[in-house]
Amino acid sequence: MTSISSPGANGSSYDVFLSFRGEDTRYSFTDHLYKTLKQSRIDAFRDNDDINRGEELKPEIQRAIKESRASIVVLLENYATSYWCLDELMLILQQKREHNHYVLPVFYHVDPSDVRKQNKTFAIEVKASSKWTDHNAFAGMVFILLNTISLWALHMHQNAP
């Protein structure tokens, strides 16, 4: 089994890229996860800046995804309402297909079955994203998100910090 904590084996700059919706978990769960990874000597990348509405995915984020050996995707109710989160996810899954990039989805305060079946709050949030002008692109993003469910995942229950 290959360890993700050996950077450089595939020319990677980071062991792990963290994908999360900043306003929801930046200073809570994701911050704790980032610090724990660093303490474990796992070189992780997280974006410390908010992306303003209308901006494209930052080139440094694209580069960090491409230069990481793995990604941890923190899925929560509002993840699918963010164009940038879905754009990151699309690039992460492209890296998985083309470059054997490891992907670990973490379901944080959302049940994986709600995402898969489009139930409860997660479905409402996905439908709220219908502000997209290109409905085919939106449908493609939702399909990518649902495909993430088929990957091995970690489910954080409601009582998790």
Residue burial 74-106, b: 16+ Cβ < 10 Å; e: rest? bbbbbbbbbbbbbbbbbbbbebbeeeebbbebb
Q: For residue 74, which of 110, 119, 37, 102 has the smallest C-alpha distance?
A: 110
CB 149 within 8 A of CB 116: yes
> What kind and span of H or E run contains 73?
strand 68-75
Domain that holds residue 86: 14-156
Whether residue 91 lies inside any domain: the answer is yes
Please tell me the predicted confidence (pLDDT) of residue 1: 34
Looking at the chain, list the stretches that DSSP marks H as alpha helix, in order from N- to C-terminal side. 22-25, 29-39, 59-66, 83-99, 112-117, 120-128, 135-148
Whether residue 9 lies inside any domain: the answer is no
Whether residue 5 lies inside any domain: the answer is no
Whether residue 4 lies inside any domain: the answer is no
**pLDDT tens, position by position, 20-58:** 988 778 888 999 999 999 999 999 999 875 555 555 668
Confirm whether 98 is a catalytic residue: no
Whether residue 110 lies inside any domain: the answer is yes
Whether residue 26 lies inside any domain: the answer is yes
Residue 55 sits in a domain whose CATH number is 3.40.50.10140
CB 24 within 8 A of CB 78: yes
Domain count, the chain: 1
Instruction: Report the C-alpha gap between 153 and 11 in whole angstroms.
Output: 26
> What kind and span of H or E run contains 154?
strand 154-156
Choose, from 55, 56, 88, 125, the residue flagged as catalytic.
88
Largest CA distance in the chain: 44
Type of residue numbered 30: T
Whether residue 142 lies inside any domain: the answer is yes
Q: Percentage of the chain with pLDDT > 90?
A: 27
pTM reported for the whole predicted model: 0.75
Binned at pLDDT 50, 70 and 90, residue 70 comes out as: very high
